[in-house]
Amino acid sequence: MLDQYIMNCLKESDRQLMELEEKQKKLLREEESCCHMIEKLTEEVDVGREFFSPRNSADTMKQKVADVRKQIEELQLQKVKVSDEINHQKAEVKKYEGMLSEIKKRDSEKYQIKQLKKEPPMLEEKEEFKKILSRVERSITLLDTDTARCKTELTNLKYYLKALLSEK
């Protein structure tokens, strides 16, 4: 349940990050178009196409260039804001990815513990069980013929089992 919530937050953060990156690309394109516009306006002033009223056209061209430069400054401010938002969003994504990896790590540890509980005893433990089983069978065969020896064998087996349990 928690991992689902974190996954949703991570997806939302990724979506917002992509939107911000698109916005940043759009601002860059607008800035480039404004720079091209300034170049065209300055070329028009340099060429001197306005023959009838050169003073009037020079003033309007200077005003247009000033307006475009002001627009470029605004775009640069917006780019700075967007880049700050992108950095913040990247930090959010890293935070959620860290949380998700922590949850997955915890879940995998739980799974490993469950698997250890389900796994059959290891090879050396199987050998120990085989030894115990053979001693129990020997004791059963001695039960009818030699009860004293059967009793000592079972007592030895009891001490052997206690020693095995104390090791683990």
- DSSP labels, 81-126: HHHHHHHHHHHHHHHHHHHHHHHHHHHHHHHHHHHHHHSPPPHHHH
Instruction: Tell me the average pLDDT across 49-53.
Output: 51
Confidence at residue 157, expressed as pLDDT on a 0 to 100 scale: 84
115, pLDDT greater than 80: no
In the predicted model, is pLDDT for residue 26 greater than 90?
Answer: yes
Residue 128: pLDDT over 60: yes
| Residue 118, pLDDT score | 62
pLDDT exceeds 70 at position 89: yes
Judged against a pLDDT cut of 70, whether residue 77 lies above it is answered with yes
State the pLDDT confidence band at 85, using cuts at 50, 70 and 90: very high
What average pLDDT does the segment 11-38 reach?
90
pLDDT bin (cut points 50, 70, 90) of residue 7 is confident
Torsions phi, psi of 146, nearest 5?
-135, 90
Q: Average pLDDT of 10-33?
A: 90
Phi, psi values for residue 38, rounded to 5°: -65, -40
For residues 150 and 158, the answer to whether their CB atoms sit within 8 Å is no
pLDDT, mean over the chain: 81
**Ranges of H-type helices in the chain:** 2-47, 54-118, 123-145, 147-167
pLDDT for 55 equals 56
Mean pLDDT of 68-88: 90
Q: Within a 10 A sphere around the Cβ of 58, how many other Cβ atoms?
A: 13
**pLDDT, tens digit, for every residue of 130-141?**
888 888 888 888
- The crossing angle, in degrees rounded to 10, of helices 123-145 and 147-167 is 160
pLDDT computed for residue 25 by the predictor: 92
